[in-house]
Structure 1
Amino acid sequence: MDKDVRQELQSLPKTLAEDVAKNLVMVARLLDEDPEGAYGYSKVALRLASRVAAVREAAGFAAYATQKYAEALGEFRAARRMTGTVELWPVMADCERGLGRPEKALDMAGAPEVHKLDKAGQVEMRLVAAGARRDMGQLDAAIVTLQSPELASQSVQPWTARLRYAYADALLAAGREREAREWFAKAVEADRDSSTDASDRLAELDGVEFVDALAEEETSGVEDAEEAAEVDEADEAEEPGKPVESTEAVESTEAIESTEAVESDESGHVASPEAGDKD
């Protein structure tokens, strides 16, 4: 847990602080993989310590991850009032986008608070502003918004891949495919922790189709099993060593025997059992 958060929790009774800390840890662990689960833990933490800024912030991010933008915005505002910092300004602006108010997000992008943000926060604000422009159908303005010294820089920062990816995506949306491919490739170079799907987008532009080898092996195994089952069923249908006599052959034999019996009876060569007893 972050040192500043631990310090905040020290204002609570020890047992309560431990319970709140456990819930905050679960929020952090589940936020990316299970947002709904994280949201549940954040609600518990809120019930326990709603006057702790770190709790309000965690609840805001959990609500944001589950697209509950109005709730997230309320929690972020509360956390900001408690701390007096501007760190949450970009995500608050993005909540405005989520609520269908891109104009409000753009207003926030031009507010004095932006100048108080660190470099990462300013880049984040630029990404939000470009997204708002796209929401309003202003693709060219979105592209211009992303053109910055941070985009042109050759150094790789934690936000570099996302910035290059957003620029490439905007170019592609504007029909500038060749430039988009170039920037997707640059995003791949900077994306050391696979925070984007830039490699997939690049492959798609190059017409490369990925094949899941494991899935193919599973499919092949199922087909082989089905073929083996069909062979077994065929073998069971035919019992080896037992000749199959055709119906025509049986009928022909019965007809011959019947004819011979009739002819013998008419010529008197075959006597009935009763005649033999009388002799």
Structure 2
Amino acid sequence: MPAGPVVPDEITARDLNGAARNELKTLSKDNAEQVARHLAMAALHIDDDPALAHEHALAASRSAGRIAVVRETVAITAYAVGDFALALRELRTFRRISGRDDQIALMVDSERGVGRPDRALEVGRAVDRAALPTDVRVELAIAMSGARLDLGQPDRALQELDIPELDPDTAYPWSPGLFAARAAVLEELGDIDEAAKWQRRADVAEAAIGAVDADTETIEVDEIDEVEIDDEADGESEAGFDDEAGAVDEHVDDQDAAASVSADDSDADEAPASDREDGAEDRA
């Protein structure tokens, strides 16, 4: 078995989110510790060095290929390095093991990545959106909109984004991406002015959410060119494996307080080297 990437001594299993650690309890103590450290490294480097994050995910999979969070992490890191075929295989395995649709948007985008936008739409339509967590539902809408653009259907791409969460006056954790997606579609449609308004809303929402902990504070934005923050608010969102996705992702509770944004329209988107016995299932 090839040696995995080095994990610094200061990285321990405690650096992995508790929900993810719970999934490793079926492993021996020493194996669980090492797998957790590799997963923690994947979470740590997914943004700044996705290739290294992917190496750590693959190292974890070689020791714990039957654990859902491990396969999910391989999928996410594979997507990050552009290996969409591997991402799809791992996402299907994660879904089969866990029974969850947390990564349905990533499945849709991975189908797009391998050049199958029609199949991407089929995958997205096959789930009950009402049963999805709000952030997952928004991510799915964005992915479905992208698939419509791939098919040269900008009008229908815009329709995919017409969801209740598209509130131009309130910024939730998912708002910047949703607003920016709408701006991109409007630009594709040739409505440059409206696209600029939605992109501006995306920028304001991102600034407001990045300035404070969205779990505890409501932010009033009185001017579109600046974000006013309550002096008592001073926090940052956590990055890591969240409770529901158990994967490398930004964690912000989408059910708590949101930032209120006032924007004038004139100012205003090779399979892993893990357990080979799972490979046959992946090809199903």
* TM-score of the two chains, using structure 1 as the length reference: 0.67
Task: Say which SS state the counterpart of residue 112 (structure 1) adopts.
Answer: coil
The structure that is helix-richer by fraction is: 1
Instruction: Trace 1:76-95 onto structure 2 (pairs within 5 A).
Output: 76-95=91-110
Matching of residues 262-273 of structure 1 within 5 Å: none
Work out whether residues 86 and 113 of structure 1, in 8 Å CA contact, stay in contact via their aligned partners in 2.
Answer: no
For 2:67 and 2:21, the matched residues in 1 are separated by: 11
Matched, 1:176 2:169: no
Give the C-alpha shift of residue 109 in structure 1: 2.2
Q: Secondary structure at the match of 2:170?
A: coil
Query: Is residue 168–residue 201 contact of structure 2 (8 Å, CA) maintained in 1?
Result: no
The answer to whether 1:161 aligns with 2:176 is yes
Q: Quote the Cα distance in structure 1 between the aligned partners of 2:141 and 2:162.
A: 9
Q: Give matches, 1:35-46, under 5 Å.
A: 35-46=50-61
1:103 and 2:103 correspond: no
Once the two structures are superposed, residues 1-55 of structure 1 have per-residue CA deviations (whole angstroms, 9 ceiling, x without a partner) of 2222111112111111111011001100111110111111111111111111111
Once the two structures are superposed, residues 131-175 of structure 1 have per-residue CA deviations (whole angstroms, 9 ceiling, x without a partner) of 000001111111122122211352211110110001011111211
Distance 1:153 1:178 in 2: 16
Q: What is the distance in 1 between the residues matched to 2:176 and 2:187?
A: 16
Bigger radius of gyration among the two: 1
List aligned pairs for 1:47-196, cutoff 5 A. 47-192=62-207, 193=210
Q: Quick one: distance in 2 between partners of 1:81 and 1:2? A: 22
CA distance in 1, matches of 2:44, 2:136: 23
- How far apart are the structure 1 equivalents of 2:69 and 2:125? 27
Q: What is the match of residue 20 of structure 2? A: 5
CA–CA separation in structure 2 for the residues paired with 1:145 and 1:84: 25
Q: Gapped runs of 5+ residues in structure 2?
A: 1-15, 212-224, 226-266, 268-284
Identity, % of aligned pairs? 38
Which residues of 2 match residues 223-234 of structure 1 at below 5 A? Answer: none
Residue pair 1:102, 1:132 contacting (<8 A) in 2 also: yes
Residues 11-20 or 138-147, more deviating = 138-147
**Matched residue type, 1:80:** R
RMSD: 1.7
**Match for 2:154: what amino acid?**
L
TM-score by length of structure 2 reads: 0.66
Q: Which amino acid aligns with 1:12?
A: L
Aligned length: 196
1:64-119 deviation per Cα after TM superposition (whole angstroms, max 9, x unaligned):
10110110111111111111111111111111111111111111222234332111
Q: Where does residue 275 of structure 2 map in the other structure?
A: none
